[in-house]
Structure 1
Amino acid sequence: MAIHKNPQALPAAQALPFALSLIAAAALALPAQAQTAASPAQTSSNALPAVTVSGSSSAPVTVGGFGDLPVAKLPLQAQVISNDLLNDLGIEATSGLTRLDASVGDAYNSLGYVSYLKVRGYDLDNRFNYRRDGLPINAETALLMANKGSLELLKGTSGIQAGTSAPGGLVNYVVKRPTGDLTTLSLGASERGTVQAALDWSRRLGDAKQFGLRVNAMAAHLDPELRDAKGQRRLLAVAGDWRASPELLVEAELELSHQHQPSQPGFSLLGNRLPDARAIDPRTNLNNQDWSQPVAFDGQTASLRVTRQLGADWSARAHLMTQRLVTDDRLAYPFGCTESADIYWPSSYCPNGNFDLADFRSENERRRSDAAELSVQGRFATAGLQHQLGAGLLLTRFKSRFQGQAYNAVGTGNISGLPRLPADPTLNDANTNRDERSTELFLRDAIQIGTQWQAWLGLRHTRLQRESVRVNTSDLRATDYRQSLTTPWLGLSYAINPQLMAYASWGEGIQSEVAPNRPRYSNAGQPLPALRSRQWEVGLKSGSKTVDWSVNWFDISQPAWRDVGPCNSTPGSCERRIDGTQDHQGLEAQADFKWSGGGLLASAMQLKARRNGSADPALNGLRPANVPQSAVKLQARQSLPQLPGLQLMAGLAYEGRRAVLPDNSLFIPSWTRLDLGARYELQLGRQLAVLRVGVDNATNRRAWKESPYQYEHVYLYPMAPRTWRASLEWVL
């Protein structure tokens, strides 16, 4: 796939985001109402509690980088999405974050494949922008949610937390840890025939309850609305802890996961024409040849974390994690159109709906990630200033091992799915093995200056070594380079009152690459200057028992690559170099209102993303492909006093139009989707039953959801059709 490997909006549509933004802004001004009863925090002993993140502004956020400081007190934008909210909305993949935050969008989200996100208009890098309990993982796989207590999202340049990463932000998966005695059984179903069963079991053991054990198990048969996409999914995870003493906590966990399911290729332009999404059946799967095989993801992840209390104000931690992934990536892959010997459409399908079809197979892909972090954090006072200091060392290692891959033309297909074509699984194409090592030293300090001012300092120094070599070919094109990089971060906040804070921050991030190792590049395989992104952000934040809200402005700028020269098949005809910048400026507003019996989660973003400073004037001022200029996301919930235990839910998502081609000559229209749901709780003695029902895309809206542009080819993904779902959760 593209990422599977291979070589005028209507006036009403323009008015809608503005109107919804006004609604969200007006909501911020509403008086706070009575507090909702919060979910009980699952804590343990006083000395070393197991951290459980909820949506409360008083909850710590690991991805923020400043220990146990709550979200509302940090001079940055972060969000915590609880497991309960994910269950209420039927979200089972990372791509579901696009329903909850206006700053998060789709970046190539194909059913049955890896989740790809963009934040603040920048694509997240699945190799470097994802964390698991704070340690880096590889997200080039299916990351299952059954044993995740919450998801954390950091928005903005992430150099404070990552040695190298794309500038949009970070996603952190928080694993469920042992709590008190708990047994939860759940069963879910959705049309056309997806069924899922899960167990969540937790116990505290021993005379002093010093041992904890939590088991999560899940199995699902997948039969979605998309045709020819049946599959299986399962997970087994075990987490344990040992409170060896009031000062020492040892935690370990193991996760085994498996998913196999045929993936979904995108549609495309028909020649130079944008097809009408209303005329396309969103259930059509172009990956429907007799020989089509599922993409298979297998994952094994284990971690060990030891925390030692060093007196009342200091603690030290050692955290180790290993992740092993095995992937069989397979697809009947439509790409481009060859109408005749002299007519070729590389970025689209043929005007009549035909396309060139390839048999793509890259099996037994093996990826391994290892991380070890040693850190210390604590509080101290000097010269009348209060410090909350954190420092540490992070060692990471990543390697990928591949065999040859198939990418063989097998004939001409059509968007109707016909005709049937022969398979050609010959492994006659090269692949690339990679090895990466990095050493990161970091220091963070939150300095309290008086009662209202606070300064925030962060510094991360990274030394990295990266190597690659091709396999299944005599043309190895090996690369080997080293870089040393430093990323600073600064912030200043002012507490206007105990609940309202103003802040400003500045930070940097880094991306590191080599020029493509192909003969046409004169600098093939050479390390490129690091792309150093810079972000300014200013905002207001407030957190209380009844409402958390923030309004902020950001400005992110990063150098951009461009291929300069004829860039044809002649060796040395092309050079990749830095040319101008990719600049994203935006205004965000978000609020989480909680009142007796209900609440509203609202967010809106207005984004100006442009290319600037290029030596080619035709590129300046252009919008990046597949990035909406405006977005609004609303999630409302309300209980009915007449029917105790029943809560109704509604979600509204709006995204503005997106550029389809880099030259901005075509746009897909804006769209709005409505989701509906209900949750009913029934108390039966000490047991609790929770029934959830929902319908996604309730109006059965047909639209192009996104338009990723990869390998000089346009992909169009339709919005999924109306889908009903139901689940029953039994808490014993």
Structure 2
Amino acid sequence: MLGVWGPHASADAGALPEVQVRTPAEFPGDLPGPYPGGQVARGAYLGVLGKTDVMDAPFSVTSFTGSTIQNSQSRSISEVIGHLDPSVREEYGDGTSLDTLMIRGFTVENDEMSLNGLPGILGQFRVSPEFVERAEVLKGPSALINGMSPDGAVGGAVNLISKRAGDVPLTSLTMGSASHSLFGFNADIARRFGMDNVFGMRVNAGARQGDMQRDYMTDRSRNLSIGMDFNSERLRASLDVIRQTQRLYGAGGAVDFSRVGGPVPVAPDGQRNFAQPWYFQDAQDTALMGRVEWDMSEHLTVFGAIGQSRDASSALVADEPFVDASGRFAYSGMPIRWRQRTISSQWGLKGQFDTGPVRHHWSLTASDLRRTSTADFHVAGLSGGAGLSNIYDMVLISPPGNAVEPVGPLAWSSRNSLPGYALADTLSFAEGQLLVTLGMRHQRVKSDSATGFALLDMATAHYDQSVNSPMVAIVFKPTQQISLYANHVEGLSMGETAPYGTTNQGVVFAPYRTRQFETGVKFDAGRFGGTLSVFQITKPYATIDPSTLTFGVFGQQRHRGLEINLFGELTKGMRLLGGATFMDAEVRDPMNAAGLTLRPVGVARRQLALQGEWDVSELQGFTLTARATHSGDVYADATNLAKVSGWTVYDLGARYVTRLGTTPLTLRAMVKNVADERYWKQGRYAATLGMPRTLALSSTFEF
């Protein structure tokens, strides 16, 4: 990729002098500082719990720093997280037109990420990393923490902290390239103004354009972000404007193996593309967010945040085609026009008080998320655009003349509203040695929707339901180096809709609860730390009764797992980041005639991600990087007949921090998938072909 570009180009390399920039954070106070090694932060912003040290957090949480994001040379935030967190995998990603993550085996859509604690206002298809200072990954259901996201985020949540201007002026320019011929640049400028530097502004602007390493695939992306803030003794405010555009040609690479009935076809060369060269997606995402916080007294603060996003996409694409055992599939082109508007808000009070020897840190929050979506499907565009092909021998056809501009009647629309209220209190005993957090969220879910295609039967659905979601969490620190924690938390997800062809098609089910039990131990040896945790997440399982063709919630999906996360410096100049996740996931479906307990689609028994860095002492400022990402075997169908083999990808890189005259300069190089592994990444809905060996280069100048 053509990198994420910020002020920390030399934050963890060698002993050369560097510019340190202090970045005022979203509230309260400054961002948690980096842990030794600079790859992760010491804490994260946990919504109603506020800024929380990792050792005090009753969850498994990892906060990737700006330098880690930048040095990964990734095209998206999902790519960064998917290669560095062992509990996270990309369901879609590079080589396709959108990003989707799986956290603890559950799908987390791209627009479920939060921006500075506010959910639902980031891009639907891809989130570029240029404006991101921190990427915080919280494991487990998180409805109480930040409010309910659009789809519930069962397995976890991602919160992105935007960049802010530091006290030291910054002007930085990054230029980069990636094979085949993808080039880009990004400018990052930050200044503070006024008495005591109370006003700040940071601007990131960049572009990327060229051919990717996959056949027929080109990328033309633009990004602009403006982050402004005011930071006085009692009043803090910020405003973010983020604009992203992306036009992809040949966007595809996802296929459906659910009907193979046995082992899936061996993955071909990752350079192959299953999409026609004339497939395209043109997406625009604009987000505007403001936040304010005022200390009414030493122990009471009032805060509020509101944001709006407008997302639009015009595309000529195809649904994931079904592939048979020999690799054959039928494809088609369908024009689509899609629009979405989201308004998200949070308001509340927080503070602290003492009852005898017990200190209380409490918060009372009201939140709402309103979203309207529409889409047009030009079904007539299928004529002349269908054909037969094979994943090993792609057949190219001319674009259909009537499928260029997506026009037609309204095919689908929805209006959702997610108002809720949350109360949380963290009780601190024995000067913080024991922390007990109690919380409750009352969540209402209102939805009006019409489902179906223009030429098929339309179904209209409405529901208005509310539920309560509790949380109980405990942290006990027997020593300063050890922290034991446990939590029981419930999440909320939108009810599913009965699909076309069922006896109750269009019926929308009530929101359902997800439940997590988790316990673990964290250790901090000063320069090296980690987390060992075990968890269980359960959720209702919706399926179709094969005897009546009625869609309903008949079963249960349960994921049990063991996670190991490591970070920090093993010795001076040697850093480690990553870990392993082992999961026992199963679906209990009484509609299964054989009575078998099956594994959910796309969920591996084991996942590993490990990155090591070594500062070469003989060459000051020179760092070598090695990374391995592994995922075990998974199934592509609910009957567990179509098995997808596991994969391991290795990446090698280097960077060099030096000066060009008086100008600090950082050079980076990384070879991704150095062994040119051929593999499928199977998610909940489809499998995507892994990208081939790719060389990424970038250089950052700080003026």
TM over 0.5, yes or no?
A: yes
**TM superposition shift of 1:728:** 0.3
**TM superposition shift of 1:626:** 1.3
2:493 to 500, 508, 511: 511
**TM superposition shift of 1:676:** 0.4
The 2-side partners of 1:588 and 1:46 are apart by 29
Q: Secondary structure at the match of 1:113?
A: coil
**TM superposition shift of 1:303:** 1.2
Q: Secondary structure at the match of 1:87?
A: helix
Instruction: Verify: 1:659 aligned to 2:635, yes or no.
Output: yes
Change (3 A) 1:446 1:352: closer
The 2-side partners of 1:293 and 1:205 are apart by 47
2:663 to 687, 704, 707: 687
**TM superposition shift of 1:457:** 1.2
Instruction: Verify: 1:170 aligned to 2:157, yes or no.
Output: yes
Alignment match, 1:570: none
**TM superposition shift of 1:265:** 3.0
Instruction: Verify: 1:335 aligned to 2:321, yes or no.
Output: yes
Q: Secondary structure at the match of 2:386?
A: strand
The 1-side partners of 2:199 and 2:522 are apart by 39
CA RMSD of aligned residues (A): 2.7
Q: Secondary structure at the match of 1:403?
A: strand
2:234 to 247, 261, 264: 247
Alignment match, 2:7: none
Alignment match, 2:3: none
Alignment match, 1:673: 649
Contact 2:16 / 2:620 at 8 angstroms: preserved in 1?
Answer: no
Change (3 A) 1:48 1:656: closer
Alignment match, 2:332: 358
Contact 2:450 / 2:506 at 8 angstroms: preserved in 1?
Answer: no
1:277 to 255, 262, 266: 266
1:340-367 per-position Cα deviation (integer Å, ceiling 9, x unaligned): xxxxxxxx33x5543222111112x111
| 1:232-381 paired onto structure 2 within 5 Å | 232-243=220-231, 245-262=232-249, 263-267=251-255, 269=257, 272=261, 274=263, 277=266, 280-289=268-277, 292-332=278-318, 335-336=321-322, 348-349=323-324, 353-363=327-337, 365-381=338-354
Alignment match, 1:579: 554
Instruction: Verify: 1:631 aligned to 2:607, yes or no.
Output: yes
The 2-side partners of 1:582 and 1:109 are apart by 25
2:177 to 185, 189, 194: 189
1:269-321 per-position Cα deviation (integer Å, ceiling 9, x unaligned): 5955645536x1221112125xx242111011111111112222332211111
Contact 1:600 / 1:636 at 8 angstroms: preserved in 2?
Answer: yes
Give the letter aligned to residue 348 of structure 2: S
2:414 to 434, 437, 444: 434
Contact 2:345 / 2:368 at 8 angstroms: preserved in 1?
Answer: yes
Contact 1:468 / 1:480 at 8 angstroms: preserved in 2?
Answer: yes
The 2-side partners of 1:454 and 1:447 are apart by 6
Normalising by structure 2, what TM-score?
A: 0.89
1:75-111 per-position Cα deviation (integer Å, ceiling 9, x unaligned): 1011111121122121221331211111112323362
Q: Secondary structure at the match of 1:124?
A: strand
2:90 to 98, 103, 106: 106
Instruction: Verify: 1:61 aligned to 2:41, yes or no.
Output: no
Alignment match, 1:75: 58
Give the letter aligned to residue 424 of structure 2: R
Alignment match, 2:107: 123
**TM superposition shift of 1:159:** 2.7
| 1:584-595 paired onto structure 2 within 5 Å | 584-594=559-569, 595=571
Change (3 A) 1:47 1:408: closer
**TM superposition shift of 1:65:** 4.0
Instruction: Verify: 1:720 aligned to 2:671, yes or no.
Output: no
Alignment match, 1:458: 439
**TM superposition shift of 1:267:** 4.4
Percentage identity across aligned positions?
21
Alignment match, 1:730: 701
Alignment match, 1:385: 358
- Equivalent pairs, count: 669
1:518-560 per-position Cα deviation (integer Å, ceiling 9, x unaligned): 4x43333334243211111010012354012110100111111
Change (3 A) 1:302 1:429: closer
The 2-side partners of 1:596 and 1:373 are apart by 43
1:85 to 68, 71, 94: 68
2:466 to 484, 488, 500: 484
Contact 2:32 / 2:51 at 8 angstroms: preserved in 1?
Answer: no
Q: Secondary structure at the match of 2:674?
A: coil
Change (3 A) 1:379 1:151: same
Contact 2:35 / 2:568 at 8 angstroms: preserved in 1?
Answer: no
Structure 1 unaligned regions, length at least 5: 1-33, 337-347, 567-572
The 2-side partners of 1:205 and 1:132 are apart by 25
Change (3 A) 1:38 1:386: farther
Alignment match, 1:495: 477
Give the letter aligned to residue 252 of structure 2: Q
Contact 1:325 / 1:367 at 8 angstroms: preserved in 2?
Answer: yes
**TM superposition shift of 1:125:** 3.8
Q: Secondary structure at the match of 2:604?
A: coil
Instruction: Verify: 1:155 aligned to 2:139, yes or no.
Output: yes
Give the letter aligned to residue 272 of structure 2: T
Give the letter aligned to residue 169 of structure 1: G
Contact 2:445 / 2:494 at 8 angstroms: preserved in 1?
Answer: no
Change (3 A) 1:125 1:119: same
Alignment match, 1:223: 211
**TM superposition shift of 1:709:** 5.2
Contact 2:18 / 2:664 at 8 angstroms: preserved in 1?
Answer: no
The 2-side partners of 1:373 and 1:201 are apart by 30
Contact 2:88 / 2:101 at 8 angstroms: preserved in 1?
Answer: yes
Contact 2:354 / 2:360 at 8 angstroms: preserved in 1?
Answer: yes
Contact 2:564 / 2:581 at 8 angstroms: preserved in 1?
Answer: yes
Q: Secondary structure at the match of 1:223?
A: strand
Change (3 A) 1:157 1:250: closer
1:356-397 per-position Cα deviation (integer Å, ceiling 9, x unaligned): 22111112x111111121122222101321111111111221
Contact 1:142 / 1:297 at 8 angstroms: preserved in 2?
Answer: no
The 1-side partners of 2:646 and 2:18 are apart by 36
The 1-side partners of 2:212 and 2:188 are apart by 25
Q: Secondary structure at the match of 1:288?
A: coil
Instruction: Verify: 1:604 aligned to 2:580, yes or no.
Output: yes
